[in-house]
Amino acid sequence: MWWWNNRGYTPAGAEAWNCIRALDYLETRPEADASRFGVTGRSGGGAYSWWIAALDERIKVAVPVAGITDLQNHVVDGTVEGHCDCMFFLNTHRWDYPLVAALVAPRPLLLSNSDKDSIFPLDGVYRTYRKVRDIYGFYNVPRSLGLNITEGPHKDTQELRIHAFVWFNRFLKGDESLIDPTAERCFEPEQLKVFKELPADQINAHVHETFVPAAPPFEPPTSDEQWKQLHDDSLEILRSKCFNGWPREDEAGGLNTRRVFSGRNRGLQLEVYDFQSQPNVPLRLYIVKRSGLGLPRGLTLAVLDQDSWDDWASTLLTGWPAMATDAGTVEPNEARFGELREMIRGGDRAFAFVTPRGVGPTAWIVEPKKLIQIRRRFMLLGQTLDGMRIWDIRRAMAAVRDIGGADRLTLQASGETAAMAVYASLFEDGIEAMELHTLPESHRNGPIILNVERYFSMDRATALAARRCRLTTD
C-alpha cells in the first residue's frame, strides 16, 4: 500500500510503539525489575530491538541479532528485496542505519550476526559497527560495545543465543560465569500464545488508517495576509517533511542543457534537448513550433505519463522518423501528427513535451515485482519516486527557461502527473497558467509523496497553486 508513505506510516512505527507499551506493562509486574530491562530479538525481532533500544532508555542492555545493516547494502546491493516494510523507519531526515545504532550509546550494545546472512551481509554489519564504535569511544565506554559474528546463514542458532546470554549476564547481573544451561529452548511457540482468538474490537488489521494523524480538513484563509502566511508555511513543511530528499543546490549540478536534434517536417520545427535533472539522471525535452518562428511568445510544457508518452511517441515517429529510437515500439499515427500541425501552425506559441524519470525513454524495462523494489529504494533514501518526479518537473521548467521563450509558461498534465505539476508549481515563479485534466481529489491512490497527508491535502495544494497562476481543471 504505497499510500502508507503519504500518511507518514510504516509498520516499523507500530512495532516500536508495541515495544514501548510492552515496557509500560512490564513495569507493572511485581516480578520485573524495571531498572534492568534488556532486549534481544532476531531478524524482525532484531529490527524491533533496535527501535526500542534507540527510543526508550528504559532498555539498559541490547543485543539485536540480524537486524541491521547500512543503506549501501539495502539500496546498492539490493538486500531491501529480502525484507518487508516493517524493517524500515520512514526516513524523513535521510539517516543511514548507524545513526540508529548510535542512539543506544553509551548503554551496553552487542551487534550480533552470522557471517553468511544474505539479507544482513557481513560487510554492511561491520561498517555499521565501526561507525558506532567511534561513538562509544567518544563516551569513553569502548567495552560497552561488542561485535559477535558466528558462522551460518540467516538463521537462529544456539551460538547466537549463548553470546546474548553472556552479554546480559555481564551487564544486567554482573555475572561472568559460564552459561548453564547452554541457551536451551524453554518454551514451545504455542506456549507463548496470548489469544486463542483475537478480540472482536482489535484494530491491528487496520491500524495503518489511524496510527499516524492526518491533516485536518482544509479551511481557506480569509485575507491576503493569511494566504501569504499559508504559502510560506506550506513551502517550509514541504521542503522539510516531504521533499527533504531533493538534491541541495550544490548537489543538483547544472542543467547542462544541449540540443541533440533539430528537424523540420510539413511546417513544423522539432528541437530536442537533453538536460540533467540531477547527476546521473538525464532527461529529454522535445520542443515543437511552426517552422520559421523565432522566439515564441509563449510555451506550453506538457508533462507526460506513460499513456500520454505513447501518444506523443507515435506523433514523434510520424513527423520525425529519425527519432525512432526514442519512440520505441509504438506505431506511427498520421492523425495525431495532423492534430499537432493544426494546433501549432500559424501560431506564435511553442509546445514542449517532457517525461519525468521512469517514464517513456527512461522507463525501467523490468517485471512489475522489480519495479516495486526500485520504488522501495527511493523510500529508504527518504524520497519517493513521485516526489523525485516533481523535482524533474521543476528542472524541466528551468531547462525551458534556459533554452528561451518561456516568458509565458503554461503547464499541462493529466491524472497523477497533474497533481505532481501542482506541487512543482508551488516552488517555481513565472507560470502563467496550468491546464490540468482528471486531477486526483486526494492522495489515496497517488501521487505518493512522503508524509504529505500528515500536513496537506490535494485541495490545499491546488488552492495555493491557483493563487499563483490561472488554473483550470476538468
Would you give the DSSP letter of residue 12? H
State the CB neighbour count (10 A cutoff) for residue 220: 12
The set of residues, in sequence order, having a beta carbon less than 8 Å from that of 262 and lying 6+ positions away, is 269, 270, 271, 272
Confidence of residue 446 (pLDDT cuts 50, 70, 90): confident
Please give the pLDDT value at position 366.
84
Question: Is the predicted pLDDT of residue 153 greater than 90, yes or no?
Answer: yes
Please give the pLDDT value at position 290.
95
Please give the pLDDT value at position 445.
80
Question: What is the pTM (predicted TM-score) of this model?
Answer: 0.95
> Hey, where are the domains in the chain?
3-207, 249-473
Mean pLDDT is lowest, of 24-33, 175-184, 325-334, 375-384, for: 175-184
Confidence of residue 298 (pLDDT cuts 50, 70, 90): very high
Q: How far is CA 281 from the centre of its chain?
A: 17
Q: Read off the amino acid at residue 336.
A: R
Cell numbers found for residue 164: 546474548
- Give residue-wise pLDDT tens across range 128-142: 999 999 999 999 999
Q: Average pLDDT of 236-252?
A: 96
Q: Which long-range contacts (CB under 8 A, 24 or more apart) does 332-338 make?
A: 336/311
Please give the torsion angle defined by the CA atoms of residues 126, 129, 130 and 134, in that order, rounded to the nearest 10 degrees.
180
Identical fold, 3-207 and 249-473: yes
Cell numbers found for residue 293: 518562428
Confidence of residue 404 (pLDDT cuts 50, 70, 90): confident
Q: Distance between CA 92 and CA 387 in Å, rounded?
A: 12
Mean pLDDT is lowest, of 64-68, 117-121, 196-200, for: 196-200
Q: Distance between CA 285 and CA 398 in Å, rounded?
A: 11
Question: Is the predicted pLDDT of residue 406 greater than 80, yes or no?
Answer: no
Question: Is the predicted pLDDT of residue 427 greater than 80, yes or no?
Answer: yes
* Separation in Å, CA 189 to CA 32, 239, 279, 375: 22, 47, 51, 36
- Give residue-wise pLDDT tens across range 304-330: 999 999 999 999 999 999 999 999 999
Mean pLDDT of all residues belonging to the chain: 96
Fold of domain 3-207: Rossmann fold (3.40.50)
Confidence of residue 12 (pLDDT cuts 50, 70, 90): very high
Q: Average pLDDT of 179-184?
A: 81
Please give the pLDDT value at position 450.
98
Cell numbers found for residue 35: 531498572
Please give the pLDDT value at position 345.
83
Strand-pair partners of 261: 272
Question: Is the predicted pLDDT of residue 353 greater than 90, yes or no?
Answer: yes
Rg (CA), the chain: 28
> Rounded to a whole number, what is the distance in angstroms from the first to the last CA of the chain?
27
Q: Average pLDDT of 61-83?
A: 98
Q: Distance between CA 208 and CA 249 in Å, rounded?
A: 35
The CATH code that applies to domain 249-473 is: 3.40.50.1820
Q: Could you tell me what percent of the chain has a pLDDT over 90?
A: 91
Residue bearing cell 561498517: 127
Closest CA to 60 of 85, 87, 38: 38
The set of residues, in sequence order, having a beta carbon less than 8 Å from that of 423 and lying 6+ positions away, is 238, 390, 447, 449, 461
Question: Is the predicted pLDDT of residue 405 greater than 80, yes or no?
Answer: no
- Give residue-wise pLDDT tens across range 78-123: 999 999 999 999 999 999 999 999 999 999 999 999 999 999 999 9
